[in-house]
Structure 1
Amino acid sequence: MFERKYLSVVLLILSVLAMSTTHAATLQALTDEQLSETTGQALMSLTYIAPTDTANLEARRTGGDSTVGFYKLGLEATVELNANIKKLQLGCGGTNGSGACDLDLDSVSFGCITGAAGYCITSATTNPNQPTGIDSNNAISNQKNMKDFVLTNPYFQFAIKNPNSASTREVVGIRIGAEKAEGPLSIGNLNSFSGYFTGKANLTMLGETNVSPVSSTTWNSRAISTPSAFLGLDDATILNLGLASVKYSEITANYSTVSRNGLAVSVVGNRVSQAKIIGLDLSSVVDDIINGTSTTSALELNTSNSCVRIIGICSGSFGANIGNALLPVLRGGISDYIKQQLATGLGTSVSGLSTYQMPYNLSNVHQIDVNSNTFGIALSAQNLQYPDYAAAVSKGWSMYLQDAFTLNISDKVSNLVSNIASSSNAKDGNITLLEQPYRNCYGSLKFC
């Protein structure tokens, strides 16, 4: 039996050798032209940007370091990530000061659980003023699939100072990134951010009917019925012609929805906690609400619940119709009055409303649908502008997400104006709430 097994092994080895010899004997040399027509792909790639290369943004920027080169070790692969991180803290204390972290995020989730319609499920909220998201059905029967956070061609990039000098060569930065990052990212609480984080905001201010311009404590309950909402402005007289008069506290109004889309949102710096919404132009927002646009109606008095006094007596719908007839003359003054109230609430001037950058607390941001070609997390010994970055990131830990998210803010005009005029919510960065984080676990498991 042993001899048979031994013979079988010998025959197998001889067969392999014979096959190898046959293949080796049939190998053919390729000409240069044939080689040039041959293509292939390696699992890993290495590229280098010298300090003198035009692609070296760090060397070319004002105040940049002209001695830094960049080596990139890339992986030609796709990484599909679905993970939950209870606490993500990087760069705590150290060179940027004690008592805080460069990046400090609670309950971070890469990926989500989708519902029957294919949308990420938004976690439940107990706050009636908080939006619920596209799909808020958290029932187990609606938890259908997992959606991953996808990294295409991830890489390590090394920033090397004096790369051509063995004696003075120094690593001044390490970046972990991907040529494409796409998918749902949700955060329980974003306490502190360092780096470059930009996106856009779509703000929809919903039209309403039967709204009082003043607050819930100053409207005249003897003159009108309970309004549907309150703008929170101070009371004042709109019109006083002797025989006829109109006050803000004795009227309600109807107005249309106003939208501002594609607004720039920017978070740049070290250990910041607020974003800036740029291009809102509150002055033109007020004008569009009061005067209307080519596609929306101008503000009008609610004729069924407004008091226009004639000889000191509320004259019902008759007087309200007279008030509406006079509105084209009055709209300019009404617009100016509202702008003054908003400017006071925000701590700026009326002229400053056009360029005012609305602060927004990052702690309100829980859902981010990432779609970025320059995603990266870096550890740097100095301020550095890595290749393809729009700006330099500060020393320490930083995250880079350019054009990475969209904030869809939709709320009633009355809520937004009240948060500006009669409270400090807007000035403090809390003009409105956003949805809870995406669900990224099944049933009652952790982070749910």
Structure 2
Amino acid sequence: MDNTNKKRREISQIILFSGIFLTSVPSFAEEHGLRKLNDSELADVQGQALMSLSYLAPTDSANKMQGQGIGFYKLGMEAELELNANIKKLQLGCGGVNGANGCDIDIDNLSLTGISDTRDGRVGSDAKLTNPFIEFAIKNPNSAATRQVLGLRLSADKVLGMLTLGDENSSKPNGINSLSGYMKTLATTGTATTTPRSMKINDTNMSIEGRIKLLGSLVSPGFTTNDYNLALQSANADLFIDSATISGTRMSSANLTGTANIGNINFGGNISANLKVFLLGALDLGINASGNISGLTANLNISENLGFIHKLPLNNPFSLSMQSQSIFWPGASVAANKGWWLAIEDGIDIGKITPSNSIDISNDILKQVVPKINTYLNNNPPSCTFGACLGLGLDIGNINLSGSSPLNFPIKDLQLATQSFAPNCYGNLKFC
């Protein structure tokens, strides 16, 4: 038998076998309790596909790009994916449309795992991506001649896990070098301490003025001094940080705002006072003064390098997109700028804003405090005998500044105690 006849015979056998199989299916189904469904019965059957495709037309009311002729095609997976990943260097959009220097996204040592604060917990857990999808932004979607792809987005309806950035929480920023994207931090609280320091005329270039009660309060002469040296002790401060929106292209820092209630600041030191006593003229007295300042509040303006943000617990919609122009993706809080864009929707809890180190009180802050002290000492003069004023020590007591206007307290680059994290590695490696 030649090869041609042999192949024909094999094909005939396959066709015959297939026919026997197909004709046997109904009897097999009937034997096992299965039966055919008509169209009406099929309409009552519900199921869920693994993949789904949806389209948002340019004129749809849910389309935030109405009037620009842009539609959105979304290919989604109706499933949950689990992922544990380390990325040594994530660089996207370097050079290009947003400038030759720098990258849209530049992050060192990025890890995505399940939520855990231990090495074994992170290595042994996965982040969960619910309903991941790919989405395209198409201009003129109904015209084959002018149709144009403007953007691509990789996203998920929700990501549950822990995202860490950098290799350690230290006094040196690391992790995020530049970021293009959007995220919103939730309001939080914290506690800080101020660094002890001295206060002298050279620090403020301002006189301390007030009145002192003498002779059992019979007289209250005024005084002025440009010669003082007061030691300000450390104090605690309760911090209240506002919710903040961090959004922009190639950002390296974020601005946080809030308020602070500053605890008692004890002070002590020397004041060379020139008292203007009625009928006696001016008296130069060296006073060893002590007391405390209470009731200070402050408006905080924190400029925070993003390299101090290391730990982001996620339970949010999450996306990474690339677009040739500003695109307001469906479900997004803000429009994504052109280039690469990382968006974390909903609020993120970054933990308590508790600085690892004490906060310095600058000369500019002291210049705001001195006028408040002067007003208080004029309205509430401390009592002093001649002996006390001549060297035995003047207890100024409590300078209560409650009700005075808040200080303007700028802060820069805080290392945050609550941003420490466990690496996604076994052993002693910081990153693997």
Question: TM-score, length-normalised on structure 2?
Answer: 0.66
Question: Which structure: greater helix fraction?
Answer: 1
For the residue of structure 2 that corresponds to 1:275, the secondary structure is strand
SS of residue matched to 1:147: coil
Counterparts of residues 101-250 of structure 1 (less than 5 Å)? 101-111=103-113, 119-121=116-118, 146-188=124-166, 189-206=175-192, 212=196, 214-215=197-198, 234=204, 240-242=210-212, 249-250=229-230
Per-residue deviation, 1:207 = 6.0
Residue 42, structure 1, aligned to residue 22, structure 2: no
Q: Deviations over 1:179-220 (max 9, x none)?
A: 001211111121111122222252413468xx74x34xx589
**Aligned-partner Cα distance in 2 for 1:414–1:77:** 48
> Per-residue deviation at 1:397?
1.1
Q: How many residues align?
A: 339
**In structure 1, the residue corresponding to 2:183 is in which secondary structure?**
strand
Q: Structure 1 residues 248 and 407, CA, compared in 2 at 3 Å: closer, same or farther?
A: farther
Q: Is the 8 A contact 1:120 1:438 kept in 2?
A: yes
Partner of 2:312: 368
Question: Paired residue for 1:130?
Answer: none
1:317-340 CA distance string (max 9 Å, x none) = xxx5xx56xx68xx6xxx4xx86x
By how many angstroms is 1:35 displaced? 4.0
Distance change (3 Å), C-alpha of 1:13 and 1:45: closer
Provide the C-alpha distance between the structure 2 equivalents of 1:428 and 1:242, rounded to a whole number of angstroms: 36
Aligned ranges 1:313-392 → 2 under 5 Å: 313-314=287-288, 323=291, 335=296, 353=299, 358-373=302-317, 375-392=318-335
Q: Which amino acid aligns with 1:57?
A: K
With 174-183 and 405-414 compared, the bigger mean Cα shift is at 405-414
Give the 3-state SS of the residue equivalent to 2:354 in structure 1.
Answer: strand
Retained in 1: the 8 A contact 2:140–2:147? Answer: yes
Larger strand proportion, structure 1 or 2?
A: 2
CA contact (8 A) 1:369 1:404 kept: no
1:20 aligns with 2:28: no
- Look up the equivalent residue of 2:25 and give its one-letter code: S
Say whether the 8 Å CA contact 1:236–1:249 is kept in structure 2.
Answer: no
Q: Structure 1 pair 383/237, CA: closer, same or farther in 2 (3 Å)? A: same
Residue by residue over 1:274-304, the C-alpha shift from the partner in whole angstroms, topping out at 9 and shown as x without a partner, is 12224x1x4xx3xx33xxxxxxxxx4465xx
Q: For 2:50 and 2:142, how far apart are their aligned partners in 1? A: 27
* 1:267-278 matched pairs, under 5 angstroms: 267-278=246-257
Identical aligned residues as a percent: 34
Q: 2:101 aligns with which of 99, 103, 116?
A: 99
Which residue number in structure 2 is paired with residue 347 of structure 1? none
Q: Distance in 2 between matches of 1:68 and 1:17?
A: 48
The whole-number CA distance in structure 2 between the counterparts of 1:22 and 1:249 is 104
Distance 2:149 2:133 in 1: 17
Counterpart Cα distance in 2 of 1:14 and 1:42: 30
Contact 1:201–1:407 at 8 Å: present in 2 too?
no
**Contact 1:199–1:402 under 8 Å retained in 2:** no
In the superposition, relative to structure 1, how do residues 393 and 313 fare at CA in structure 2: closer, same or farther (>3 Å)? Answer: same
CA distance, structure 2, for counterparts of residue 154 and residue 86 of structure 1: 23
Q: 2:182–2:345: 8 Å Cα contact kept in structure 1?
A: yes
Amino acid of the residue matched to residue 81 of structure 1?
L
2:7 equivalent in structure 1: none
* 1:67 matched residue in structure 2: 69
Secondary structure of 1:57's aligned partner: coil
CA distance in 2, matches of 1:176, 1:412: 37
Inter-partner Cα distance in structure 2 for 1:49 and 1:99: 36
Closer/same/farther in 2, CA of residues 93 and 251 from structure 1, 3 Å limit: closer
SS in 2 for 1:363: helix
SS at match of 1:393: coil
Whole-angstrom distance in 2 between the partners of 1:419 and 1:407 = 31
Q: 1:419 to 1:385 in 2, by over 3 A?
A: farther
Structure 1 residue 314: deviation in Å? 3.4
Q: Is the 8 A contact 2:229 2:269 kept in 1?
A: no
Are residues 1:260 and 2:240 paired? yes
Amino acid at match of 2:355: D
1: CA distance between counterparts of 2:310 and 2:100? Answer: 26
Relative to structure 1, the CA distance from residue 383 to residue 437 in structure 2 (aligned partners, 3 Å threshold; closer, same or farther) is same
Residue number among 76, 79, 85 corresponding to 1:77 in the alignment: 79
Rounded to whole Å, the distance in 1 between the matches of 2:186 and 2:244 is: 5
Asked if 1:29 is matched to 2:37, the reply is: yes
Is the contact made by 1:103 and 1:271 (CA closer than 8 Å) also made in structure 2?
yes
User: Which of 413, 420, 424 pairs up with 1:430?
Assistant: 413
